[in-house]
Structures are given as C-alpha cells and as structure tokens.
Amino acid sequence: MGLETLIALVVLLPLAGAALNGFFGQLHGKRLSGYLACAVMAASFACAASAVAGLSGLSPASRSVTSVLYTWMDASSLRVEMAFTLDPLSGVMILVVTGVGFLIHVYSLGYMAHDDGRVRYFSYLNLFVFFMLVLVLGASMPVMFLGWEGVGLCSYLLIGFWFEDAAKATAGKKAFLTNRVGDMFFALGMFSLFWATYQAGSGTLAFAGLKANKHLIEQATVGAVPLATFAALCLFIGATGKSAQIPLYVWLPDAMAGPTPVSALIHAATMVTAGVYMVARMSWLYQMAPGVMELVAWIGALTALFAAAIGLAATDIKKVLAYSTISQLGYMFLGVGVGGYVAGIFHLVTHAFFKGLLFLGAGSVIHGCHGNQDIRKMGGLKDKMPWTFWTFLVATWAIAGLPPFAGFVSKDEILYEAYNSPHGSLALWLAGVVAAVMTAFYMFRLFTLTFLGAPRMGKKDFDHVHESPAVMTVPLAVLAGLSAVGGALNLPGGIAHALHLPRVLSDWLAPVFPVEATAHASNEWALMGASVLVALAGTLGALHVYYRQKTVPVADNARLTVPVRMARDKFYVDEAYDILIVKPVRGLGRFLAGPIDKRVIDRVLAELPPAVAYWLSARVTSLQNGNVQAYAVVLFGGTVAILAYLTLYLR
Amino acid sequence: MTFLSQNLLTVLVFLPAVGALALALMPSEEKPLLRWSAVAFSGLAFVLSLGLLNEFHGSFPSLQFVESRPWIAEWGITWFVGVDGLSILLVVLTAFLTPVVALSAFSAVEEGVKGYYVSLLMLETAMLGALVALDIFLFYVFWELMLIPMFFLIGVWGGPRRIYAAVKFMLFTLVGSLPMLVAVLYIYFAHKAQAGSYSAALPDLLTLKLSPTEQLWLFAAFALAFAVKVPLFPLHTWLPDAHVEAPTGGSVILAGVLLKMGTYGFVRFAVPLFPGAAREAAPVMLTLAVIGIVYGALVSLVQTDIKKLVAYSSVSHLGYVMLGIFTLEVAGLQGALYGMISHGLTTGALFLLIGVIYERRHTRQIDEFGGLARQMPVYAVLLMFATLGSVGLPGLSGFVGEFLVLLSAFSLSSKVYVVLASTGLVFGALYMLWLVHKVLWGPLGPKNQKLPDVSAREIAYLAPVIVMIVWMGVFPNTWMNTMRASAEHWARDLDHYRLTVTARPGPAPALLTAQSEHASHRPAR
C-alpha cells in the first residue's frame, strides 16, 4: 500500500467504526460493538505504525507526504482540500492517538461492560479518535479546525454520556461552550492568516502554503499590530480553550463527569494536548512573534503553578488528576513557549503514557470501590488491587519527576529549556521548579491516601473491593512499561553524548523544527540535579505527612486554614466567571428581549407608521373641505397637467 | 419531452398551481386523497427541479433555462424566467421543502385539509415564480402573491393569536413593499427614457445609468422591502409572532424559503441594479447585519418558547447572510448563498422537530420537556444533527456559510464587523445547546414518560433534511460548483454587472449577450 492510502486508512478506519456502531450497533449487539471499536483501533494503529515506518524510509528533507481525498470547498479566493499530511510531527501524534487510544478502547471493554449505553459509548469513542486524527493530520487550518471542533463535540457527548444526570450534561455543555470561546479566536487567527496571503494574491490556509508565504505574513499588520502577533495570539487563546489553560481551563475539572476511560483518552492523553500540538505546528509563526511566545511560556508556567496548588487540596481522585493534567499541560506550554518544541512534544508523549495510566488506574480503583471517588474514604487498597497498585506507582513515580522514568526525562528537558533557551529565564525556570515540587507532593499524597495505610471505608465495603479484570489490567501494564522506559525516546543531551546514544525524538523532529532551540550547555548536570532534588523533596514531604503522620484531609471546610480552603474551593474562579460573564450575558439578553425588543422596537414599528398615516390624513382631509370651487380648480389644474404631460413628454 | 425541456421552468412554476387547482376540485372530506395528492404534486415538482439541477451548467455564470415570451407586449412586460448560480439552489430547496412540509402536515392538520394544501401549493408556485422571474414586474407579482397563501396558513391554521400574527406579517411586508413598487415603476420609465423602449427585463434594466442620488433613493426603496423580509434588525419584530403562531409547515416554509426571498432580492436586484448605492450603504447594512447577529443570539438566549428561540436565531443567522452579501466579495457572496440554503435546511429541520413534540404534548414551553433522549432516542439523534448544523459545526452545512462569510468579512477595512460577528459562534452555541440540554438531557419528567419516538412517516420527512445537512457539510463543493461561476461574475465588477443568457439545451452552451437575445424577443412596436 502506498503511503497516501495508509494515511487515509488511519483516519477513515475509526470513522467507519463509529458509523457502523452508530447506525447498526443496536442490530449487531452490545458485545460486538466493543470488539468492533477495538478492532478498527488496532487496524488504525497498525496503519499508523507502517505509515510512520514508511515515512522514516524517506530522506529527512522529504518526510512530508500529503494524501488528498477530495476538494472540500472551493470559494474562488480560497480552496480547501480534504487532505492529510503525515510528517514527523503528525507521525508522533498519530502513534500516540491510535496507540494509547487502542489501549483505552480495550480497557473500556471491561470498564463499560455493564453499561446499557455501550454501543453509543464505543461509537462516540471511535468518532473522537477520527476527529483527533483529522486534527493532527489536517493539511490545512480549516481541516485542523474540523478536527478541533469535532473533538470538542465528542468531548461534549462523552462528558454528558450519562445524560440523565443533569449535572453531568451541564458539565458537557460547559466544556463545549468554553471551547467555543477559544474556537472563535482560533477562527479569527485563521482568517487573519488567510487575509495576509490573500492580499498578496496567493490566498491559502494550507500549512505548507502559509509557511511558504511567511514573509507576507511578517509584513502584514492588523491595525497597528503586526499580523503575526495578532494571529499567534488569537490561535493561542484558542489553545487555552482546548488545552485548558488560564483563563479557559475551568471546563476540564468538570469534564471528569464523563466515564473514566474518556477522561484518560480525551481529557488527559490526546485532545487536551491539541493546543500544544497546534503551537508546535505553527512554530514558524510563533518565532515571528516573540512577545506572544513569552506570553505562552508565562501562561503555561502560571497555569502549572495554579492548577498544582488546587491539586494539593483536592480530595476527589479524578479531580486531583484533572488539575494535575492542567498543570502538566502548563509545562508543555512553558516548553513550546520558550522555543523548546521538541521538549514540549516529548512531554506531551510521556504525559499521554503516565497520565493515561493514572486515569485508567483511577478508573480501576473507582470500579473496584463501587463508584467511590473520595480519597479520604480510601486507603489500604495496595493488597486488594496489586496490579492497579504497582502500575499506579510507576505512573506516580514518572509524573513526580523521579529518575529514571519517562516523566523525569521530559520534564527535565522542559526545565532545561526554560533556563537555557534565549526565550527562557531564571524566573520561568523557578516557576517550573516550584510546580515540580508541588507535583511530586500532590501525586504522592494521592497515591498514599489511596493505596497505603489503613482502609478508611466500612469493613463491608472494603471486603467487596476487588482487582479489575485482565482486560483492564493489561492496558495498565502496557502503559506502565511505556511510562517507565519512555524517557529513552529522548535521552538528556549530556547522557546521550556520554553514552554515544541517539536522541531519537530530537533527530526525528529535526525536519519540522529547523531551529534547534538550545545547544548542549554545561549547566545541564546542575539543572538535572536540581530537578531530582525538588522531586525528591516533594515526594518525601508527602510521604512524611500522609504516610508517617497518617494525616487525612478533613471533610469540614470550616476547619481548614484559609489558603487550603481557597484552594479546595478552586479559588472561586467559577463563581467569578458566573458573576462577571454568565449572569451579565443572560441579563443583557433579558434586557434586549423584554424592554428593548417588545417595548421599544416593536412599538415603534407598530405605532409609528399608523401615526404618520393619521398625521398625513389630517393634512389631506383639509383638502376635502366641501368648497366646490376649490374642487373645480384642482380638477382643472390636474387635467391640464395630465394633458400637458401626455402631449409634451410622451410624443 | 421537447416541450418539457424547453419550458422546464414554466412547468415547474405552475405544476404546484395545477396541483392546487386539482385539489380544489376534490371533495373536502377525502383527507388521505388530498394529502397524498399534495405530496404527489409537490414531489413531482421536486423531481423536475432535480432535472433542472442535473442539466444546469455550473461553470457558466449566465442565465440558463431561459424562457421569454411577450406578456403585456405594448408595455414591454414579458414572461421572462431563467436561473443562474444565484438562484438554482434556492429553487431546488423550495421544491425540496414543500413535499417535506406536505408530508409533515398529515397528522398536524385535521381541519380544513383542502385549504391548507391548496395554500401550500399556491405558495410554492409563488415562491418558485419569484425565484426564477427576470422581468421585474413578474417578480413583483410573484413577490406579492407569496403573501396571500402565507397569510392564510398563519391566519387559519395558526395558534391562538394567529389573526394578530397574520395581520402583522401582512402589514409589515406590504408596507415594506410599496416603496419598492414605486421604485420599480421609476426604473421602468427610466429605461424608456434612456433606451427609447419599454422593458422590464432585468438584463435591460442593469444597463441603466442612474445618478448617485437616484440610485440611493431607489436602493433604499428596494432595500426596505427586502430588509423587512430578511428580516434585518430592527425590522424583525413580525417574525417571532409569525413563527410562534404559524403551523409547523408555515414556519418551515417561512424560515426555509420566504426569508431568503429578502436576501435573494438583495443579491438579484437591489445590489446589481444600484451598485454605487449598495457600496455607499454597505457600512449601514453591515452594521445592521452584525447587530442582528449578536442581538438575535442574545434574545434567543432567554426565550421560553422553543419556536420563539428558533425564530430569533433566524435573525442571527440571516445576519451572517447579509454580512456576506455586503462584503461585496466573492467568498462572502458564496458564503451568503450557502448560508441561505443551509439555514433553510437546519431551521426547517428544527421547526419540523419542534412540530413532532408539539403534536405529542401540545406545548412548546422549553420547561415542559427534559430527558427526551431516553424516551425518544432517534428523535434525539435527529435533533442533535439539526442543532449542530445550526451552530455551524464543521462537517455539517452551517459551517461553510459562516466560515466563508467571516473569512470574507476579515477583508473589510474595519475589523469590528468580523470580531463582533464571530461572537455569534459562541452565542449561537450557547442558546442552541441550552435548548438541547433542556429538551433532551436530564431526568425524564412525568409528563413525557409515554411519548412515542418518531414514527416511520416522521422519519421519512426528517431523514432527507438531515442527510442534506450532512452532505452539505461533508461535500460542500458539490453545491458550490453550481454557484461559483455566477458568484465570481457578480463580485468581479458590480458596476458593470450584466446578465447574459446561455442557449439551451446542449452540451456546450454558446454565450449570447443579453441584448441580442432580447432584441429577438422584444415585440416590435
């Protein structure tokens, strides 16, 4: 098979699965629907793997293959092909999406085994993968946008999967709408880029075409602002929606209402990283807008800190992981913001492994504990759920940044870039380091409270706790393996140099990011040492508080200290948005619908014309005053006028 | 067949009227016969429109299927009809929606079945006539003719305040149209003055030379008539009342086709006839369009009646169409044309779907529903598609129009328009998802426990609309191919816009100029 065909298959297989389950799922039954969904994912992964293998067989400079399916729209000045481009960057993404996606599909077989809505679930899940692949493979911005909004739709449908619970449906709606705010800016950014190229007579929105015309974009302005800055900023605001960064992160914690495998796939491993991917895809644009890059880095750093702070106080196992995801995404933006694109993508990949694993592990715990998600009521699950315990430990180890697991290597690379890159600074590095301490602390807090110590649930409940079936634990084991050794994808420069080993990911991505952000610097070992120290500090601190001292977070908010209470109440951001945005918009709607529409516009339209008519008729009635002589004059004058017109004008 | 192929448009326009006549002769109590006859006649018209689409040459910007016969010869008024890329899809949309409506009214209309279907078929003739008319008097006749059946549909088969709504609809549109009649007469006589002969044919009228002041007044007169119909903010207040009171079929036709007559009027007449004035007035029109987008969406947000919500959403969606037209750019115009068709389908589908639950519950209050997805899963799927199509999700029909309009609006020198209009993307999703949330999700209320899911007949008329929403989103180019050439021709040089006629039928149409074609038809004086 040619590469083009393989690329098309990667995308279309999950769509076929979604369609088959969506339209005929009720016919072929619930059991089969799950197997079908897994089968198309396996096939899609196989195609993705062979496509990437095929790509690696090409010379580095020619590693970009586009598969054109058909012309999506052609509006004279803009032509958009339904086309997918496989290059090293999208290659990495499709492997993650289909690979981790496949594992999560398999896990779902067990997790959703008793749910009546299985057919619908697998249909949505396949559809999500399809849109995610469209997003990463899209050869132009509109096609990426198709995927971008499509994954948002699936996220909406899956968060509100148990739609009879109005709160869950509301969470889905919140996710969609918050994302739409971002999408609006994404669209504006896209329009501005088109406009810049269109003015110069070569209007395009294909990534290759835009990049080829970057000189045009560099020269253009929007008002007084350089167009590159405008576009980069708009696109980044779009990314803050999809990737849950300040100020649009508020939907992600609520998104935990969806089934846990969904949280793993969509809200940890794949969709939420789309913003990072997009910034990396548009790296040439961001390089033209250093101010925006700095903003990206700082938003990332601040989000990493802020979300970690909430994670320190959260008591719901999934909420801790949700804030952790926001925080880790912040790291990725810190990476790409300082120009460390490889570092950002690297962390994206390792995060997909260990955060996917953490969510699946959490799902296993929830499954085993019959729906309980409150870590204050867990504890002591170690022996009851050995597979879950050990794999969760690997993931916790990885995300905490303890060597030698994957999270350590990728996080270290981001911190290294934050310090050494020309766009980096000591302050950014420090923010990353502080967030790292917090990460290690809240993760080991979570781990300890869940698995170690004495059980804090009723004896009967505890007796019923059970390990999950193999269909769930095997994916855990595979992801644990990846979380452990994933760091080998891109060894730290010093180590690779010392051992004469390649840096696989950096080399692979080199054709996409020609600007290798930072050379190997002598402070690498010192920075690495600092990373290890802070990770250890956080880990030991958490173990001390929650394992040695057996502290359990209190249930009663009133007994908390003010900062902890604020963190547990998520710093009242949702409430603030409600007062500042949601309520005023509805209020404005009410004001326009009531006083303005009904009482002003409609009344003016309904009453003004009659009023004018009466006024006119009052004037005209004075003509009809009963004076026969006056009538005769008018009659005569009129006749003369008509005759004059007919004779003079028409003849 | 030669007769048919040479008079395709005339046959298409009058077929529904013939149907109306046939129905009028049938006994009133034979309800199934009346219903199926209406479906048959409108269905046949749809088949004809497909033949039209099939033989239409999208790559030519010119008028096709042209028929021109003297009508009132000494006044230069002709039966002059034809289609081009600006109108072909609207013709097909009209022919598509009418049988859908006919099928949907089987259970909704129990009283006065005959009158209902006669009105519907007459309305179809009037709408098709207005869309294909190229003689400005002919257009005006059809334009006003549309009012009468619609007036009856609302006033007889409508809700409790139907008389108020019908009269309001009538007065608004009639008052709006009167200045247009004056303007029509003015340009008709102006043509006599300039060319020496009477002609009401649009291709001839396009050659008129009018002073800027004349243009401005004439444009204003046309614009008023069309803006009321669109409806452009702030002339929209008749629409929510008309929609709320109209029967389901009336709402579908109203939103699906009738509103487009306004925007079509701008594209076909107001802008090309008075290009200078159109350019002059563009900032005003753009401003009103953008206000409409945001205003309509915000007002939709707080509605409690589902139909009213969708009615105000039309104000918002048609705002995009107006924005696209008055960018006076090729992508904007194509976006506008595409948006018209898409809005016809998505809003048509929404009104049909509202009708489905209204028939079951006899209420349209949003609060009365909830959790229907459990009880009516197929209904839920259909409503989701219509909703997502309406909010402009890429991959469904609504996206293409909005995308192209906004893309084009970015080229306007002031970026305020595009930025404000973009907020409609958020607000649009806000009210539609809120609606879906209230109707489909959440616990199933006690009053809705027994509702049956959509029936086979309901699927039969809903599914085609939904399929089209998907098709138009996945393969928009199929449809854009029919409009591109005409849109390019329109936008290239508005000041010298001329309508040309393609000889037909034949595989490779030769281009003739309007003048020579018309010279042969114009009666010798």
Give the pLDDT confidence score for residue A519 in this predicted structure.
58
Residue B190, chain A, CB below 8 Å: the answer is no
Residues of A in contact with B481 (CB under 8 A): 74
A264 and A197 within one domain: yes
User: Phi and psi of A206, rounded to 5°?
Assistant: -70, 145
Which residue stretches of chain B have pLDDT < 70?
Answer: 1, 503-525
Q: Which residue has the higher pLDDT, A557 or A397?
A: A397
Upper half-sphere CA count for residue A464 (Cβ side, 13 Å): 11
Residues of A in contact with B237 (CB under 8 A): 597, 601-602, 605-606
Residue A181, chain B, CB below 8 Å: the answer is yes
Peptide bond into A290 cis (omega under 30): no
A411 and A281 within one domain: yes
A298 and A223 within one domain: yes
Give the pLDDT confidence score for residue A190 in this predicted structure.
96
Read off the pLDDT of residues A250-281 as tens digits, 9 standing for 90 and up: 999 999 999 999 999 999 999 999 999 999 99
The pTM of the full predicted model, rounded to 2 decimals, is: 0.93
How far is B473 from B481, CA to CA, in rounded Å?
14
Residues in chain B: 525
A419 and A351 within one domain: yes
| pLDDT score of A560 more than 50 | yes
H or E element: which one contains B502? strand B501-502
| Residues A97, A270 contacting (CB under 8 angstroms) | yes
Q: What angle do CA A320, A325, A330 make, to 5 degrees?
A: 130
| pLDDT score of A574 more than 80 | yes
Buried b (16+ CB within 10 A) or exposed e, A297-334: bbbbbbbbbbbbbbbbbbbbbbbbbbbbbbbbbbbbbb
A476 and A405 within one domain: yes
Give the pLDDT confidence score for residue B513 in this predicted structure.
39
Are β-strands B64-72 and B511-512 bridged in parallel, bridged antiparallel, or unpaired? Answer: unpaired
Contacts of B2 (CB under 8 A, 6+ apart): none
- Return the DSSP state at A630: H
| A191 to chain B, closest Cα gap in Å | 5
A189 and A86 within one domain: no
CB atoms within 10 A of CB B498: 14
| pLDDT score of A16 more than 50 | yes
Are β-strands A225-226 and B501-502 bridged in parallel, bridged antiparallel, or unpaired? Answer: unpaired
| pLDDT score of A28 more than 60 | yes
How far is A599 from A591, CA to CA, in rounded Å?
11
Residues of B in contact with A142 (CB under 8 A): 394, 403
Residues in chain A: 651
A556 and A631 within one domain: no
- Return the DSSP state at B256: I
Domain that residue A378 falls in: 140-568
Q: How many domains does chain A have?
A: 3
Give the pLDDT confidence score for residue A497 in this predicted structure.
82
Domain end position, chosen among A568, A603, A635: A568
A294 and A405 within one domain: yes
| pLDDT score of A557 more than 90 | no
Q: Give the type of residue at A425.
A: S
Residue B299, chain A, CB below 8 Å: the answer is yes
Give the pLDDT confidence score for residue B514 in this predicted structure.
40
Residues of B in contact with A165 (CB under 8 A): 442
Give the pLDDT confidence score for residue B354 in this predicted structure.
95
Give the pLDDT confidence score for residue A635 in this predicted structure.
81
| pLDDT score of A516 more than 60 | no
Give the pLDDT confidence score for residue B413 in this predicted structure.
85
Tokens 């060894």 belong to residue: A491
Angle between helices B275-300 and B306-325 (to 10 degrees): 150
C-beta atoms of A180 and B442 within 8 A: no
CA B372 to chain centre: 31
A601 and A518 within one domain: no
A393 and A260 within one domain: yes
Percentage of chain A exceeding pLDDT 90: 65
Give the pLDDT confidence score for residue B1 in this predicted structure.
62
| A444 to chain B, closest Cα gap in Å | 37
Give the pLDDT confidence score for residue A362 in this predicted structure.
95
How far is B244 from B365, CA to CA, in rounded Å?
11
Q: Please report the residues numbered 394 through 413 in chain B whose beta carbons come closer than 8 angstroms to any beta carbon of chain A.
A: 394-395, 400, 403-404, 406-407, 410-411
Residue A163, chain B, CB below 8 Å: the answer is yes
Tokens 């601040």 belong to residue: A302
| B236 to chain A, closest Cα gap in Å | 9
| B484 to chain A, closest Cα gap in Å | 7
Q: Give the type of residue at B298.
A: L
Residue B281 token pair? 């007035």
Q: Chain B interface, mutation test: which of A72, A132, A577, A588, most B Cβ atoms within 10 Å?
A: A72
Residues of A in contact with B415 (CB under 8 A): 222-223
Q: Point out the residue among A165, A166, A192 whose CB comes nearest to the CB of B410.
A: A192
A162 and A123 within one domain: no
Residue A463 CB-density burial (10 A; 0-12 exposed, 13-18 middle, 19+ buried): exposed
Q: Please report the residues numbered 573 through 592 in chain A whose beta carbons come closer than 8 angstroms to any beta carbon of chain B.
A: 585-586, 588-590, 592
Question: Nearest-CA residue of chain A relative to B423?
Answer: A184
Q: How far is CA B327 from CA A166, A277, B65, B214, in A?
A: 43, 34, 29, 23
Q: What does the mean pLDDT of chain A come to?
A: 90
Q: Give the type of residue at A384.
A: K
Residue B355 token pair? 């009708």
Give the pLDDT confidence score for residue A29 in this predicted structure.
74
CB atoms within 10 A of CB A622: 7
Stretch A117-121: mean pLDDT, rounded? 92
C-beta atoms of A163 and B299 within 8 A: no
Give the pLDDT confidence score for residue B509 in this predicted structure.
40
A191 and A48 within one domain: no
Tokens 């993307």 belong to residue: B425
Please list the helix, strand and coil fractions of chain A in percent, rounded to the nearest 5, in that order. Answer: 75, 5, 20
Q: Spell out the domain ranges in chain B.
A: 3-495
Select from B9, B86, B72, B87 the least CA-distant residue to B200. Answer: B72
Give the pLDDT confidence score for residue A73 in this predicted structure.
94
C-beta atoms of B411 and A198 within 8 A: yes
Q: Among A238-242, A532-536, B1-5, B206-210, which is the least confidently predicted range?
A: B1-5
